[in-house]
Amino acid sequence: MNVMKDSTDNLLSANSSVIEKTDFTHSLTRRSTTEGRTDGDKNQAPKKSKNFPHKKSNQATKKSRPERHGEHKTRFMKKFAPKAQVKIPNVPNGRLRIIPIGGCEEVGRNMTVFEYGNDIIIVDMGLQWPEEDMPGIDYIIPNIEYLKGKEKNIRGVVITHGHYDHIGAIPHLIPRLGNPIIYGTPLTLGIIAKRQEDFKDKQALRLKSIAADQKLVLGKFKVSFFVVSHNIPGSFGVVIDSPVGKIVHTGDFKIDAKISGDIPTEIQKIKSLGQQNVLALMADSTNAPETGHQLTEGDIQGNIDEILNQAPGRIIVGTFSSLLGRIQQIIWSAEKLGKKVVIEGFSMKRSVELAQQLGYMKVKKGTIMGLKDMRNYPDKKIIILCTGAQGEDNAVLMRIANNEHKTLKVEKGDTIVFSSSVIPGNERSVQRLKDMLYRKGAEVIHYKMMDVHAGGHAKQEDLFEMIRMVRPKYHIPVYGNHSFLKIHGKVALKAGIPEKRIIIPDNGQIIEFDNRGELYIAKEKAPSEYVFVDGLGVGDVSHVVLRDRQMMSEDGMIVIIATLSGKTGKMIHSPDIISRGFIYMRENKELVELIRTKIKNIINEHNKTNGKINDAYIKDALRDDIGQFIFTKTQRRPMILPVIIEI
């Protein structure tokens, strides 16, 4: 790690606007980026989304509305609706409080608070990617309501590695938390600093680089580190020594003793923790449902060498820009076989350049070349590394497949390698991409055909081994859906941890330990509801707006425009109807006329009982009665947007 630190200092002198000594400072701006996702972590920089037109539903309607997706909406509302605020008592004297703010009911949004007396430290501050029922949302960040009024107590934020599900919320939350110092390895901080270039309108961050053998004193907490293998260099686990005992937090990890672009897992350091009476182990559960051991990066190297050696023509490798260990392996193999590497994709170029500058990646002079130099070499000597293995529309691999890339096109004889697992939800887009590549005469190789990808998270046997090495009194599975945590809990039981000492937390769960090592679970929970980032807004999209968007995305919308006389309340002409995403009006004239007649009847009925126009009443009646009528006729429930124009 000293080499890394020296490289960091060299980078400082070359670009003093980014870093000052070991203190990274960077200004912030607001625009979106195009980073590639990473295995298991759903690590993708936010895409800029256009706000879908929306209107909040009127909550004062008296009549019940038909609901085609009633059960789904109930789940949706429970998941996103804000809960009543509960007053949380202060931490009792002599107790350590641990709160997983996010990451314990989903993959992503990782953030954990440790509090003792007037001292608070935070581990990770990540984002979560939106689910299918969240139209228009860029991403989701942790809810920091619990920390309001405690900003002055935050002694530091420790980031375990540079993936977006661990760093992605920093630009939004750090300014609201009093801008505490952020600690991480040079590569992690370099990625954070690069991301902050997209948020220049905010105050500078305070970033301090750390080495694996370094110790920090943050208030009453003493913090040390151990290197872990993941699929990005510069990853570490954290040992938090509190007045009531040691807490070990693994961050994302797998057990890999072999080097792959970074130093290997510090297994001896982890084993030594087993002699230190660790109070609790908080361990990564992302791959807990998978049996066996995770493949090591060393297992993959031989397969990569074989594929690159046997390919008859060009090789195009699609992977995540953050999988720097994999990129390093491909470069090593290219150098061994005398091939040249072209790196295509802004995020991948940026990641490789940063890793080289900081000494995390070794590349011989002349190995990497530009696109324009490809014509100087035969196809068999060319490897193209690019983003887009998840079938993203704007990523390089999809643009190549669609003939939309200005230089590269798929040719017969090309070998396309997908060196990443498919993130759930991307299966259809990845399959479509593969089909397109096959149609163009390429040979496609992916991880299910051959071991060309090793995940970055420990499987069950590795989790078992971690527990046996650390020998904690309590085990707290983190990072994953509830079922993942439960499965991890069963692994801990098998490893000898008593069931009563296995804690399966929810987000917001308040876990406390006293100085005798006794456990307390508070009946109260810290706020942990979703905070949505949508375009330029943070937290301004409510569950009502999201529900409206969901309705529009499922069944479309109808706009009803009724022009009424201000004197008589009667319609001046027939109401206008606009359909978007519901029906094609030219092919459904009969239904349109039935709706128009129904609108006239509703407004005429209002005229019989009211002396003047009541906009709110007419709009509610149109929403309810037209909604009921359309549901009866079509079994669909579009959003109804009435517009009353009074002349």
Alpha helices (H) in 358-508, listed in sequence order: 396-401, 427-439, 460-470, 482-494
When pLDDT is cut at 50, 70 and 90, the band that residue 154 belongs to is: very high
At residue 78, the pLDDT reads 41
At residue 475, the pLDDT reads 97
**Least confident range of 227-236, 237-246, 361-370, 399-408:** 399-408
2-48+57-81+95-292+457-533, which class in CATH?
Answer: alpha beta
Query: Residue 377 above 60 pLDDT?
Result: yes
Query: Residue 614 above 50 pLDDT?
Result: yes
DSSP three-state, residue 386: strand
Backbone angles phi, psi at 307, to 5 degrees: -65, -45
At residue 474, the pLDDT reads 97
Q: Compute the mean pLDDT over every residue in the chain, rounded to the nearest whole number.
A: 79
Query: Residue 115 above 70 pLDDT?
Result: yes
When pLDDT is cut at 50, 70 and 90, the band that residue 198 belongs to is: confident
When pLDDT is cut at 50, 70 and 90, the band that residue 10 belongs to is: very low
At residue 619, the pLDDT reads 86
Every domain range in the chain assigned CATH 3.10.20.580: 556-646
pLDDT tens for 235-272 read: 999 999 999 999 999 999 888 766 544 567 899 999 99
At residue 519, the pLDDT reads 95
When pLDDT is cut at 50, 70 and 90, the band that residue 439 belongs to is: confident
At residue 181, the pLDDT reads 97
At residue 485, the pLDDT reads 96
Query: What CATH superfamily classification does 297-446 receive?
Result: Metallo-hydrolase/oxidoreductase (3.40.50.10710)
Name the residue with higher pLDDT: 113 or 361. Answer: 113
At residue 548, the pLDDT reads 55
Of the ranges 117-121, 191-195, 546-550, 598-602, the best mean pLDDT one: 117-121
Mean pLDDT confidence for 392-412: 82
At residue 368, the pLDDT reads 92
When pLDDT is cut at 50, 70 and 90, the band that residue 160 belongs to is: very high
Annotate 450-489 with b (16+ C-beta within 10 A) or e (fewer): eebbbbbbbbbebbbbbbebbbbbbbbbbbbbbebbbbbb
Are 556 and 547 a contacting pair, CB within 8 Å? no
Query: Residue 149 above 50 pLDDT?
Result: yes
Query: Residue 602 above 90 pLDDT?
Result: no
Name the residue with higher pLDDT: 246 or 447. Answer: 246
Percentage of residues in the chain having pLDDT higher than 90 = 34
Radius of gyration of the chain (CA): 28
Every domain range in the chain assigned CATH 3.60.15.10: 2-48+57-81+95-292+457-533
Are 141 and 538 a contacting pair, CB within 8 Å? yes
Between CA 232 and CA 319 the distance in angstroms is: 13
Every domain range in the chain assigned CATH 3.40.50.10710: 297-446
**Least confident range of 4-13, 30-39, 307-316, 503-512:** 30-39
Query: Residue 22 above 80 pLDDT?
Result: no
At residue 278, the pLDDT reads 96
Alpha helices (H) in 385-478, listed in sequence order: 396-401, 427-439, 460-470
> 43: alpha, beta or left, given left = phi > 0 and alpha = psi -120 to 50?
beta
At residue 56, the pLDDT reads 35
Which residues contact residue 403 at a Cβ distance below 8 angstroms, ignoring those fewer than 6 apart? 409
Backbone angles phi, psi at 405, to 5 degrees: -80, 135
Which CATH fold topology does 556-646 show?
Ubiquitin-like (UB roll) (3.10.20)
At residue 588, the pLDDT reads 83
pLDDT tens for 40-64 read: 444 444 444 333 333 333 333 333 3
Between CA 155 and CA 149 the distance in angstroms is: 14
pTM of the full structure: 0.72
